[in-house]
Amino acid sequence: MSSLIIYFSRADENYAVGYIEKGNTEYIAEFVKELTDADIFKVEPAVPYAKDYNTCIKEAKQRVGNAPVREKLADISAYDTIFVMSPIYWGTYAPEMETALKGLDFAGKTVRVICTHEGSGLANMVSDVKKICAGANVDAKGLAIQGSQAKNSKQKVADWLKK
């Protein structure tokens, strides 16, 4: 069984965490990779966000529905399980995740959802992933990790992966 992690993460100034060199979701993606030996693909915006949080939020709102990415996966047929990971932006995944996932063939795949947040939990991310990953078996029990706890959540991730 082969797995793939598709994730978006942003460093720089983060809500409730301050300036960070690595995004919170990236820590979680690295834990999943280490624990499952999955392949990994980082979704990156075609135009990087501003480093300060408030400007980044304004930019991200403008990209909803049209968030170009630097590179897009063309084929996920070699994978049985796909981990979809993102920070929560306005109740769902970051706008770039929609661009990254749209058009991929998820038929027969198992999709597991993980998010980082600062109070919203999974919000609508699982239901939105179900919509965009048509044909996939999306695990209803996603994992939500508070961003400020991300660096220290390896055991929480390991426990969730066993479920």
Place of tokens 């932006």: 89
pLDDT of residue 93: 96
List, as one string, the DSSP characters of 10-69.
--EEETTTEEESS-HHHHHHHHHHHHH--EEEEE-BSSPPPSSHHHHHHHHHHHTT---B
pLDDT of residue 14: 86
74, 61, 63: which is closest to 101 by C-alpha?
A: 74
Q: Specify whether the CB–CB gap between 83 and 26 falls below 8 A.
A: no
What is the DSSP code (8-state) at residue 45? B
What is the DSSP code (8-state) at residue 49? P
What 3-state class would DSSP assign to 69?
strand
The whole-model pTM stands at 0.96
Amino acid identity at 98: E
Helix (H) or strand (E) holding 142: none
For 69-93, the pLDDT digits (tens) are 999 999 999 999 999 999 999 899 9
Q: Specify whether the CB–CB gap between 100 and 8 falls below 8 A.
A: yes
Q: How far apart are CA 138 and CA 82, in angstroms?
A: 9
Low-confidence ranges of the chain (pLDDT < 70): none
Q: How far apart are CA 94 and CA 88, in angstroms?
A: 6
